Structure 1
Amino acid sequence: MRDEGVLIIGSGLSYHNLSAMRGTGGYEPSRRFDAWLQETLVHTACDKRAERLLDWQQAPAARAAHPREDHLIPLMVVVGAAENEAGATTYHQKDFAGGLTASSFRFGRVPAAAPANGDLQ
């Protein structure tokens, strides 16, 4: 699909422990897991990225940040589609929702702007 110019979006949050979000218990786990995601998605060689993600439960504060893996599945799909394209951080906030650290990522090159007439040729 990407070869045909289809944009693939995985929606989610790098921290998803709703009960800890209500208090201050999410600050440190969100910071630690986000740092691991940064290292894995942006600073790890593309051929090793999938290996690290397969072992995500071993990451610092993994289960505190994601008690269930369902909110990481979109990330896994996008990384799989990215294949050997580099990752980059597009959003990073240290005080999200009262103190959590959260990030968003993209993979591959940013396409040129669409023509003014809206045709995507």
Structure 2
Amino acid sequence: MDAPIRLPSLFLSHGSPMLAVQDSPAGRFLDGLGQQLPWPKAIVVASAHFTTAQPTVGAHAQPDTVHDFGGFPPELYALRYPAPGAPDLAATIAQRLHDAGIPARIRDQHGLDHGVWVPLRRMYPQADIPVVPLSVLPHGDAAQHVAIGRALAPLRTHGVLVLGSGGFVHNLGELDWRHADAPLTPWAAEFAQWMRDKLEARDVDALIDWQSQAPHARRAHPTVEHLMPLFVALGAGGEDASVRTLHRSHEFGSLALDAFAFE
């Protein structure tokens, strides 16, 4: 009998949809990341671009590639990520959430938004690993998302990669679109460093209270959906998980693209 495969949970910052095709530090990092991990049997992705009022799990057997963005080059809209879905795993996830006291829904006809397929296309370009999308709650809080992740933590011992895809600092209104390589602005750097310090210290209480404690919290995340995948990944790592920084880079002055593993 094969030994159990235990995977970390991951948080990845996916940045602009151009990450799918452009050469960048974040893109090159993702290109090598899949080969550094045990090969997953399936992948669950909590995406900042799948938002619902209550946790919802995509259960399409052959999910479409969703181009949920506008104003980008035509080559981006021609891309497809034809990974299969996993309806049985989706049902298992919904049941685990229900058993944890978290009502969840299954959505049979749901595709893969760019928060899912953009990083996966670089990590696993062969697109042959089943993928299950999981929503985040734009009106929920960090504690709710940690609880969602903890309900999914046992899946990691069965070869399932639990991945949160969002943005470490994400304020599109303050990006310097003319200068992709602009230095990280002081306010974004201060917020990012506070988050890194609390993650490295495993100060979950402070992280859950990030909106009150972190400097420039509202400026770093005017809406919360891009940070909530971090808390799903944090919860899925388990209560005693270590935190490993996988990547740091930034674009356009304030788009921080940190990535972490919880294991």
- The total of aligned residue pairs comes to 101
Kindly state the Cα deviation for residue 3 of structure 1 after the two structures are TM-superposed. Answer: 2.1
- 2:258 counterpart residue number: 103
Q: Deviations over 1:44-71 (max 9, x none)?
A: 13xxx32122101120111110011111
Kindly state the Cα deviation for residue 99 of structure 1 after the two structures are TM-superposed. Answer: 2.7
CA contact (8 A) 1:36 1:60 kept: yes
SS in 2 for 1:69: coil
CA contact (8 A) 1:30 1:102 kept: no
2:163 matched to 1:9? yes
TM-score (norm 2): 0.36
Q: How many percent identity over aligned positions?
A: 36
Tell me, in whole angstroms, the C-alpha distance in 2 between the residues paired with 1:29 and 1:90.
Answer: 22
Q: Deviations over 1:82-115 (max 9, x none)?
A: 121111111112xx2233343111111xxxxxxx
TM-score (norm 1): 0.74
Alignment of 1:33-72 (within 5 A): 33-42=191-200, 44-45=201-202, 49-57=203-211, 58-72=213-227
- 2:54 counterpart residue number: none
CA contact (8 A) 1:17 1:64 kept: yes
Q: Which has the larger radius of gyration?
A: 2
The residue type equivalent to 2:243 in the other structure is: G
- 1:78 counterpart residue number: 233
Greater helix percent: which structure?
1
Write out the 4+ residue segments of structure 1 that deviate beyond 4 Å after TM superposition. Answer: none
CA contact (8 A) 1:30 1:61 kept: yes
Tell me, in whole angstroms, the C-alpha distance in 1 between the residues paired with 2:167 and 2:191.
Answer: 11
